[in-house]
């Protein structure tokens, strides 16, 4: 009997040098609590051994359509029956052709043809094989059949050439798979997210900013995408890779972020303001670099516009979610901010514990009171926040229909 609440993935490997990445992918999935069952083709076994994949997955690896050790007499079908999805990584040109044409001449292709769950494939091949017209037709047919195609990307290849056909990295595939496994509670909903710090120029080389890494905002955008939402991410300066499938608009200053938000918010159902927007900016920015001297220097500051407050208290606001980072009196300041800005939901944390960290503890405030989330990685916090948001949004904005 499968354990309740545990995601179950069938990971298929076909022949290709990128099979080594499948080992790391398996490790990442298992680390994330996923139950991974591995099936390998004969060709895959020439690049990486079943013993390696068995050690990483903790389960016996299936390789043979006629394997008599499979418990069920119809193992070539039953192996995938309890799985939430099948992932083939690497997926060779030959295997993509089999899938596109409904061929089933080995265990993995048979399982893919007889599946009742989503199928994801990560192509991996030489650039000329990827660019071949037959491969392109096969990939388009798979997409038309509802298969999720992950990648490939351009880069160095084992043959020494450079071009399209390189399989996505294990971390990229892990994120895509976890996204596919999340409940689509926000399907059809357009969400606008702000993230990261802003930078307020003093002169051409100096400015006022803060220590926000942008990780929480990017995690919220990722979690919203996983939940099926259409996401626009307005990002201040960060070194983070943008979530795949989000439309990213990069800005620098609070004024730039405000301008973009006001342009995008009329199209959004939900606005989540995670960005650590500067509260003040220099009243008069110097056109040239201010030369250092031994004399004290005074800067005249003026407040920036409250982006969240402008949106939440304006006409016909979307469902607004705020964030508050406080150094003390978290409950009092957070709830006061929520009420003042008329927010249905606010997430708060202790600033010194969260800024720059990879994990976090959030406290959610809504009309029903206070909800404490356990400290955990920011992506898990973001998923919990999105699940809570979806429940509130459904009750408030779609009382008679599902999302």
- The DSSP 8-state label assigned to residue 266 in this structure reads G
Query: Under 8 Å CB-to-CB from 344, ≥6 apart: which residues?
Result: 319, 320, 321, 366, 367, 392, 396
Written in H, E and C, the secondary structure of 272-305 is: EECCECCCEEECCCCCCCCCCCCCCCCCCEEECC
26, 112, 117, 159: the active-site residue: 159
Query: What CA–CA distance (Å, rounded) separates 376 from 159?
Result: 42
User: Cβ(13)–Cβ(19) under 8 Å?
Assistant: yes
- The DSSP 8-state label assigned to residue 238 in this structure reads -
Q: What is the dihedral of CA 263, 265, 266, 271, to 10 degrees?
A: 180
Task: Say which residue the tokens 């939402």 belong to.
Answer: 229
Residue 379's CB is within 10 A of a number of other CB atoms, namely 21
Q: Is 320 a catalytic residue?
A: no
Nearest to 23 by CA among 79, 82, 123, 90: 90
Round to the nearest angstrom and report the end-to-end CA distance of the chain: 31
Element (H, E) at 254: helix 254-264
Query: What CA–CA distance (Å, rounded) separates 19 from 382?
Result: 31
- What phi, psi does 98 have (nearest 5°)? -60, -50
Enzyme catalytic residues: 159
């Amino acid at each position: 009997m499968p354990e309740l609440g545990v995601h179950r993935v069938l990971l298929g490997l076909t022949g290709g040098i990128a099979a080594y990445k499948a080992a790391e992918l398996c490790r990442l999935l298992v680390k994330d609590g996923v139950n991974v069952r591995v099936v390998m083709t004969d060709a895959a076994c020439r690049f990486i051994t079943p013993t390696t994949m068995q050690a990483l997955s903790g389960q016996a690896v299936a390789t043979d359509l006629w394997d008599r050790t499979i418990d069920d007499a119809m193992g070539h079908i039953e192996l995938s029956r309890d799985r939430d999805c099948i992932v083939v990584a690497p997926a060779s040109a030959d295997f993509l052709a089999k899938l596109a044409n409904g061929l089933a001449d080995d265990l993995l292709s048979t399982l893919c043809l007889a599946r009742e769950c989503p199928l994801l494939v990560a192509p991996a091949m030489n650039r000329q094989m990827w660019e071949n017209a037959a491969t392109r037709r096969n990939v388009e047919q798979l997409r038309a059949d509802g298969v999720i195609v992950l990648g490939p990307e351009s880069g160095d290849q084992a043959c020494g050439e450079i071009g399209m056909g390189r399989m996505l990295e294990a971390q990229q595939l892990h994120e895509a798979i976890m996204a596919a496994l999340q409940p689509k509670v926000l399907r059809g909903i357009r969400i606008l997210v702000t993230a990261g710090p802003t930078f307020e120029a003093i002169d051409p080389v100096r400015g006022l900013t803060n220590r926000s890494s942008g990780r929480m905002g990017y995690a919220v955008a990722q979690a919203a995408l996983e939940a099926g939402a259409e996401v626009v991410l307005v990002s201040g300066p960060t070194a983070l890779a943008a979530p795949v499938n989000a439309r990213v608009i990069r800005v620098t200053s609070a004024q730039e972020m405000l301008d973009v938000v006001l342009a995008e918010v009329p199209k959004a159902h939900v606005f989540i303001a995670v960005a650590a927007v500067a509260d003040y900016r220099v009243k008069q920015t110097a056109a040239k670099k201010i030369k250092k001297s031994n004399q004290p220097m005074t800067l005249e500051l003026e407040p920036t516009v409250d982006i969240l407050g402008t949106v939440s208290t304006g006409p016909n606001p979307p469902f607004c979610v705020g964030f508050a980072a406080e150094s003390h009196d978290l409950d009092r300041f957070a709830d006061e901010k929520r009420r003042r800005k008329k927010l249905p939901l606010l997430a708060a944390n202790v600033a010194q514990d969260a800024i720059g960290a990879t994990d976090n503890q959030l406290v959610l405030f809504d009309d029903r009171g206070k909800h404490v989330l356990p400290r955990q990685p920011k992506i898990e916090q973001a998923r919990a926040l999105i699940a809570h948001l979806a429940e509130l949004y459904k009750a408030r904005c779609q009382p008679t229909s599902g999302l």
